[in-house]
Structure 1
Amino acid sequence: MTDASLPESQALPRLEGPERWRAWWHLMAQDHGFIRSIYLNKHLVRDDLWRAAQPSPWHLERLAKAGFRTVLNLRGSERDNYRYRLERETCERLGLKLISLPIRSRRPLKREVMIDAINVWDQIEGPTLMHCKSGADRTGLMSTLYLHVKHGVPMREAMGELSLRYGHLRQGKTGIVDYVFETFADRHDETGITFRDWVETEYDPDSLKASFRDQWFASLIVDKVLRRE
């Protein structure tokens, strides 16, 4: 899971010449980085964990200067992804630990991915910046987990991280995140089961996906206007 642990044989080639220009074009234009240059949607979750949208190299430089030690990337680490390669190179240059935990926000996480999401907090070294593309949905999911699993904040209270304040629309397909957590909260009220035990013994992503209903107009905004992943 941790990028720094990849064998040398799997090391990515450095971005040089035209490839580097393509990487910057992909980040700033195709990935909407020009918007994040103005507003990164960066917020403190608790203690030394922050949430944000996809940082650019100059954002990472500022983080390193401010004493940050870890970057938790929720978008993935595909070898042919220019945006990821640029982020990884920058973190290596700055001495930032980069951890990749690819998750999605418009369908329930697979059980093994949800367990990884519960366990990932044991790997981070704060201060930590956690990011997805827009800092709204996947960071909201992980912030909720962090508060509930690591700090014992009641699930419904922790779900305050899934808020329109951060750009999260629970009425659209991204509302599946809220639905999963609310389903657990109801079950916890009935039995007192912990989230980890619920995931390991009762969690059924396919059933949750089948029973969730989104509002078409909100999903249109999420999918076509905001182009959430």
Structure 2
Amino acid sequence: MSIFNRLKTASRARSDRLKAGDITTPDGRRRARAFMLWYDHEFVRIPWSNLAQVAPGVWRSNQPTHARLARLKDRLGLKTVLFLRGQMLEPPRLFEEESCAELGLDLVIVPLAARNAPERQSLLDLIAAFRRIEKPFLMHCKSGADRASLASAVYLLAIEGAPVSRARRMLSLRFVHLKWTKTGIIDAFLDAYETAQKASGVGFEAWVENTYDAEALQRAFDAKRRGGTA
């Protein structure tokens, strides 16, 4: 095994040790805070946020610290936080639950992926969540770059009835979204809907529910990347 691979394996093992399943004990909390700061890159998010408004009463960002979440509640009148990172019992979710409980905010969890074609059911679950959660709300993933970009685009298309051109603005370097990486699958997803919409006038939600094929999109995207054109 190369030195690089040994270091990578050691780092992953240390990260796993710090993923406390309980932040109520002093040792568990200490380890969880270390995980958040270094392995979850909170040291970047403490001084920097890519907060932006998506639509009236709808905001997006990277994962906020407790202090930033408190400021957003005061400044925006925040009612709900939409957590896009999944159901994992790890520090990001545990600290988010704690912060929302302390601040009196509703927490809604809808897991999304950023490096694979979005699953149909995940998209429908997201749209359903958008319709039921109370505004103003903040949606976020880890870095606010990809899952938050996808969710913001879906909100504009499904709830606002916005054109794809407007939704596409949610996927940009402004949010550190890099379309030439695997997360370019999100751009391909919007391209696929735009093609279908131009051909038939189909609405976004109807397209997702009845026509969208995640596996076909992923195959086409992977083939394009292998050909060096994506």
- Answer yes or no: same fold by TM over 0.5: yes
Is the CA contact (8 Å cut-off) linking 2:61 and 2:141 kept in structure 1? yes
Aligned residue among 116, 135, 142 for 2:144 = 135
Residue 157 of structure 2 is matched in structure 1 by: 148
Q: Is the 8 A contact 1:48 1:126 kept in 2?
A: yes
Q: Report deviation, 1:14.
A: 5.4
Q: Determine if contact 1:14/1:89 at 8 Å carries over to the other structure.
A: no
Counterparts in 2 of 1:46-61, with a 5 A limit?
46-61=55-70
Change (3 A) 1:26 1:203: same
- Partners in 1 of 2:39 and 2:143 — Cα distance? 13
Write the mapping of 1:65-214 to structure 2, written as runs, cut at 5 A.
65-66=74-75, 67-79=77-89, 81-212=90-221, 213-214=224-225
Output the CA distance in 2 between the equivalents of 1:26 and 1:13.
13
Counterpart of 1:50 in 2: which secondary structure? strand
Query: CA–CA distance in 2 between the matches of 1:214 and 1:58?
Result: 41
Give the Cα–Cα distance (whole angstroms) in 1 for the partners of residues 205 and 55 of structure 2: 21
**More contact order relative to length (CA 8 Å, sep ≥ 6):** 1
AA paired with 1:142?
A: A
Q: Whole-Å Cα distance in 1 between the matches of residues 215 and 104 of structure 2?
A: 40
Equivalent residues of 1:141, 1:161 under 8 A apart: yes
- Identify unmatched segments of 5+ residues in structure 1: 1-11, 220-229
In structure 2, what is the Cα distance between the partners aligned to 1:95 and 1:216? 50
Give the CA deviation at 1:13. 6.0
Aligned length: 206
Identical residues among aligned pairs (%): 36
Say which SS state the counterpart of residue 214 (structure 1) adopts: helix
Matches of 1:93 and 1:150 in 2, distance apart? 30
Structure 1 runs of 4+ with >4 Å offset: none
Q: In angstroms, what is the RMSD of aligned CA positions?
A: 1.9
Sort the Cα spacing of 1:215 and 1:37 in 2 relative to 1 into closer, same or farther, 3 A.
farther
Deviations 1:49-105 (CA, angstroms, capped at 9, x unpaired)? 1110011121222223332111111001212x0221111011111111001111011
How much has 1:26 moved relative to structure 2?
Answer: 1.1
The question of whether the paired residues in 2 share the 8 Å contact of 1:175 and 1:214 is answered with: no
Deviation at 1:216, TM superposition (A): 9.9
Please give the TM-score of this superposition, normalised by the length of structure 2: 0.84
The amino acid that maps onto 1:74 is L
Give, as a single letter, the amino acid of the residue that structure 2 aligns with 1:158: A
Bigger radius of gyration among the two: 2
Note the C-alpha offset of 1:215: 7.6
- Taking the aligned partners of 2:179 and 2:53, their CA distance within structure 1 comes to 21
Q: Compared with structure 1, are the counterparts of its residues 156 and 214 closer, same or farther at alpha carbon in structure 2 (3 Å cutoff)?
A: farther
Secondary structure of the residue aligned to 2:107 is strand
Answer whether contact 2:22 2:29 (CA < 8 A) is retained.
Answer: no
